[in-house]
Amino acid sequence: MTSILHESQIFGPISLFSQYIGKEKLCIEKHEHYQKRSFRNRYSILTANGPVTLSIPLKKGKNAGTNINDVQISYDENWVEKHVHAIRSAYGKSPYFEFYFDDLEKILKKKHPSLFLLNMDTLYYVLKKLKLQIAVEYTDSYQKDYPDMTDLRNINWNLYQTQIKYMQVWEEKFNFTPNLSILDLLFCTGPESVSVLTKMNADGNLIVLLNEI
């Protein structure tokens, strides 16, 4: 069985989703310590002002040393509306906006108590819309090595600059912007997203990146 392992992410980067192609099992790390400034609570979209990174605020505390299951989301500020507004402004004119926006808005407005639950809710939604047949499991405990799986934990996906392009909403203004959140691909290409991911999966640039980690 071909399997991959990585940490939970909120609307992860397109390059990560390209690694799902051809895999039978996806294992999510459920027993790690939370790490700041990562895709665990951040995702990037392309707006009229260029790329913007949206962050999920967390309750104050030493989250960096906290089990990912125990990291709680803060709703002291109305970040949900800010994210919803940003997504609407960025992709309101995209070809497939109406196919995904309402569902995504509902997910964000659920007020998940923990970051992990929100991340998994978004992951299951994206997998469903991509129609990817990949089984999702969780780690039973934290282990440094998993010899039977491709370990993609803590990879700096920002280093990956794909040569595979697709039409983006603000491309005429900013040229092509690679490796945004999977949301960008969904809104822009809809059912053709898997085709783009498949081409990216065959891109040697990512293979070189993984070998250098």
| 194-213 per-position pLDDT tens digit | 999 999 888 655 554 555 54
pLDDT single digits (tens) 6-33: 999 999 999 999 999 999 999 999 999 9
Sign, Cα dihedral of 133, 180, 47, 58: positive
Query: Residues 160-169: what's their mean pLDDT?
Result: 86
* Phi/psi of residue 6, nearest 5 degrees: -160, 170
User: 101-154, pLDDT tens digit by residue?
Assistant: 999 999 999 999 999 999 999 999 999 999 999 999 999 999 999 999 999 999
**What pLDDT score was predicted for residue 159?**
80
pLDDT at 176 over 70: yes
Share of the chain above pLDDT 70, in %: 92
**∠ at Cα 201 (196, 206), nearest 5°?**
120
Give the tokens for residue 67. 């089990």
What is the Cα–Cα distance from 200 to 206, expressed in whole angstroms? 8
Q: How confident is the model at residue 185 (pLDDT cuts 50, 70, 90)?
A: very high
pLDDT given at position 208: 47
